[in-house]
Amino acid sequence: MLTLFFLDGFFLMNAFLIPPVHEFPIRRLLMWFAFGAIAHRECYQDIETFGTEARKTHPVESRFRWLSTAILCTEMLISYKYRMNTGHLTDDPTPIYIWLPWISGLLFCFAMWTYLRFMPGHTIKYPGYVSSWRLNLMSDYPKTEQEAEQ
């Protein structure tokens, strides 16, 4: 999203012919600093508490992530709408040596995300690791049905 932010800023200034010394880029950066700091904190909390008990007691709301995403999408649409006669090459065909690696990389990332998201045991933070407190807790319980009957 950070790369998208910089690209949107460049394309907006280019489409609206805003000079670099104008106050618009400074105000935009300050607004994004405020939104971005909160959105990154929400993302960090989401990653840290994924699949834990803390998520049930303190859910992550992610308001600013959605707001930041909506603003970025709006900036992209504005840049696309006013792209004519600004020197953009968006209507020319992209060579295969550029789009093929990008498409392949994005498909690989999506496939890995899908695999990691839906594989069995994806909510366990450290699969295969049993901490000492779990071993102590498990030692109090019978391990088999025969131990339970005794």
Question: Does 76 share its domain with 58?
Answer: yes
Among residues 92, 114, 129, the one where a domain terminates is 92
Q: Percentage of residues in the chain with pLDDT exceeding 90?
A: 9
Q: What total of structural domains would you count in the chain?
A: 2
First CA to last CA distance, the chain = 60
Question: Exposure pattern of 32-51 as b/e (b: 16+ CB <10 Å)?
Answer: beebbeebeebbebeeebee
Question: Does 147 share its domain with 101?
Answer: yes
Q: What is the pLDDT of residue 109?
A: 93
Q: How far apart are CA 132 and CA 143, in angstroms?
A: 17
Question: Does 104 share its domain with 144?
Answer: yes
pTM: 0.54
Question: Does 6 share its domain with 50?
Answer: yes
Domain that holds residue 98: 94-150
Is there a contact between 43 and 116 (Cβ–Cβ < 8 Å)?
A: no
Tokens for 46, please give them: 């989401």
Question: Does 59 share its domain with 98?
Answer: no
Question: Does 67 share its domain with 1?
Answer: yes
Question: Does 105 share its domain with 82?
Answer: no
More confident residue, 98 or 133: 98
Q: What is the pLDDT of residue 63?
A: 86
Q: What is the mean pLDDT of residues 18-41?
A: 86
Confidence of residue 107 (pLDDT cuts 50, 70, 90): very high
Q: How far apart are CA 106 and CA 104, in angstroms?
A: 6
Q: Give, for 7, the enclosing helix (H) or strand (E).
A: helix 2-15
Is there a contact between 74 and 8 (Cβ–Cβ < 8 Å)?
A: no
Q: What is the mean pLDDT of residues 117-144?
A: 59
Question: Does 59 share its domain with 40?
Answer: yes
Q: What is the pLDDT of residue 113?
A: 86
Question: Does 48 share its domain with 75?
Answer: yes
Q: What is the mean pLDDT of residues 100-116?
A: 92
